[in-house]
Structure 1
Amino acid sequence: MLEIEAQLAREELDLVNAQNRVQLAYLNLFQLLELPMAESFTIEKPSLPEIQANLTMINAYDIFSTAINVRPEIKAAQLRVESASKQLAIAKGGRYPSLSFGANYYNQYNNQYKIANETIDLGTQLKNNSRSSLGLTLSIPIFNRFQVKNNITNSELQIADYEYQLQQSRNVLRRDIEQVYTNALAALNRYISSDKAVASMKEAFRYTEEKFNVGMINSVEYNQSKTNLTNAQSNLLQAKYEYIFRTKILDFYNGVPISL
């Protein structure tokens, strides 16, 4: 009887400690969201699908192939390369003659302008004073102190730099996806192992409970078996949410909207 009372006291202490950890987790969440403490604040528990033991995941290469087409940092790096390529084409255009067309129009009005003491009206002045010209200008580059050559060289160097940045961005993305994929695969394996452990612990606890009911074992052995089952169930729950979290990160890289 004393052993049972002692076990009850330990479990009550464990319950208080767990409740304190929940409150601390709420506090951390409030501070992360920069919200004041609210006693009525509750977290909705989403309905999650059951994880199948034979579940397979899309491989990291397929995720990377999709990610390089949707990730903004990759698109930005690609656009920088394209922009630099256009600048190179413009710089190379400096080698060739250029033909430009220009047009000018001029007019004026003076309210003091008179002929034979008669003021000339606006329409007549605008008609008589209009001047216009058209022109073509042909520029042939002969020597410009190597400015065109330097511009071309600088543009080529800029392209090489942006291409290197693009490759670096791809490498970083690939490494991130490989790491996330490995973490998700490890979480899946952990869930599968935890699920098997729970099944075994349930069966073991069933036998232990039968033995305890007929007096074949004492309360210490019974409580130990119960604790083992509780720990296995806790590990399974942690593994489940860990796996779901990791797969949502994979969805993020795969361009899939995150939802529960």
Structure 2
Amino acid sequence: MKNFSFIVTLLLFSSLLSAQQKEWTLEECVNYALENNLQVKRTELDLELAEIEKRDAIGNLIPSLNAQARNSWNTGLTQSATTGILVNQTVRNFDANVTAALTLFDGLRNFNQLQRAKMSRLASEYSLDKMQDDIALFVADAYLQVLFNKQNLEVLKAQNQVTQEQIQRTQDLVDAGVLPEGDLLEIKATMADEKQRMILAENQIQISLISLAQTLGIRDYQNFDIVDRDYGIFGNEILANSVYDVIEQAKEERSEIKIAEANKELAEMDVEISRGAYMPTLSAFFNYNTRETGQDRIIGREIDPNNPTQRIGFVQGTNQEVLAENIIPVLGSPRPFFDQLYINDGLTYGFQLNVPILNGFATRNQVKRNEVNVKRAEFELKQAELDLEANVYQAYTDAKGAFEAYEAALVAADAQERAFEYATERYDVGLTNAFDFSQAKIRYENTQREALRAKYDYIFKIKVVELYFGIPVRDLKF
């Protein structure tokens, strides 16, 4: 039993350790964000609400059926249902009814409402697509920022390793009298500055990792990390297309235009729905009702033994009383519950026509209001097209500029590398001082960092152009 417990503990520890050591790829981060990001989830709720709205519209086209039952007690001075006399009593009554109704014609408002609900759901789908694209780009940008910070730290570490080696070489040259001691102090100062920058670079890595984890909805910041992978340049062939080709493709594929078009159609449907209020409404109804009571019922009649006669008038002229038999009802127990329901049931059915005549111009004003909304939606569609053109043109220009900047950064980095190698050779033989060597080293380090920054900036911007060109977010290559 102890061995079994030890094995279970070991397995749990191993699984926990492996979970803590998981490193996320960019594809995994994007897919996880699309499933768990809070903004995506909120947009998915809008899609659920649109689906509910659609079911509401469908429900308006089918008959309504409602049942009602009531059992009540009435205590006090009430009229007897059997004798008609006011008496103090407690009466129990039960009634039930079932009503069905169906709208036969309402100016096509229910039908148009269904079409609007379908369009509203489609617009919500477009909004979800746009949100997913935005989140995917945001995740990619955050991921590449982490990767840049990590590789920047590697550059700093590599340069620091060179500095450490130079300290030993400088110490030997100082001991040999080739270099002054001031050069050794300069190199040591460079070492201290590099260590400080490495600490700052490590902090930047943690900050960027936390930012990425929050975008994904992950709270375990301490154990979150990404795969250290050198992403290549993919998709630059997209720039072989002209910017106008990309713009036309974006107008066909991008969700921004589809959302604006859907909003325009929704506004047009609102006009049709409001115009339906001008038309008469014809509906059919059917009602079945029944009732039951706990009061005694009349089972016969008899002469009142206590007062067998009653005066009903006088003979004209003689004023002689006219008497008649005093007949009173004989009460018995109420009929059984279901017998009363069967006897007392009834049906009500028919048609109802409502014709709008004058309603304070409410219908007319609503139609006019919705027509204004149509014009507004048309302007918003045109504005969305203009904004998309500007955004695509900006993204295309940025991508081309980023590629040229990346190529220039590579050339600069290569030139500074050769310059640094030359400065190193001169410093090793005492032909240059430590300050000039440190400056050459800093320039080389800066060009390496700039090359990294330009690379990841270009990768991100080319992915923006690919999205505008209609490539699905899950098909982007990194």
Confirm whether residue 93 of structure 1 aligns to residue 308 of structure 2. no
| CA deviation string 1:193-237 (max 9, x = no partner) | 111223334445556666777x69545666665554333222212
Higher strand share: 2
Confirm whether residue 55 of structure 1 aligns to residue 259 of structure 2. no
Q: What does residue 125 of structure 1 align with?
A: 340
Quote the offset at 1:94 in angstroms: 2.7
Quote the offset at 1:87 in angstroms: 2.2
Aligned residue for 1:236, secondary structure, equals: helix
Larger Rg: 2
In structure 1, distance between residues paired with 2:342 and 2:356: 41
**Pairing of 1:25-174 with structure 2 (within 5 A):** 25=204, 28-29=207-208, 43-51=225-233, 55-58=236-239, 59=243, 60-61=246-247, 64-65=250-251, 68-69=254-255, 77-116=260-299, 117-174=332-389
Amino acid aligned to 2:232: E
* Aligned residue pair count: 253
Aligned residue for 1:83, secondary structure, equals: helix
In structure 1, distance between residues paired with 2:452 and 2:226: 17
Aligned residue for 1:56, secondary structure, equals: helix
Amino acid aligned to 1:231: N
- List runs of 5+ in structure 1 lacking aligned partners: none
Q: Note if contact 2:416-2:444 (Cα within 8 Å) is conserved in structure 1.
A: yes
Identity, in percent, stands at 22
Which of 385, 406, 415 matches 1:200? Answer: 415
Structure 1 range deviating more: 153-162 or 142-151 = 142-151
Structure 1 range deviating more: 8-17 or 248-257 = 248-257
Amino acid aligned to 1:11: T
CA, structure 1 residues 41+208, in 2 after alignment: closer, same or farther (shift >3 Å)?
A: same
CA, structure 1 residues 216+176, in 2 after alignment: closer, same or farther (shift >3 Å)?
A: same
Q: Note if contact 1:97-1:139 (Cα within 8 Å) is conserved in structure 2.
A: yes
Superposed CA RMSD: 4.0
Quote the offset at 1:152 in angstroms: 1.6
Q: Note if contact 1:63-1:177 (Cα within 8 Å) is conserved in structure 2.
A: no
Q: What does residue 18 of structure 1 align with?
A: 197
In structure 1, distance between residues paired with 2:272 and 2:424: 82
Q: So what's the TM-score if we normalise by structure 1?
A: 0.72
CA, structure 1 residues 41+250, in 2 after alignment: closer, same or farther (shift >3 Å)?
A: farther
Q: What does residue 242 of structure 1 align with?
A: 457
In structure 2, distance between residues paired with 1:141 and 1:29: 64
Amino acid aligned to 1:156: E
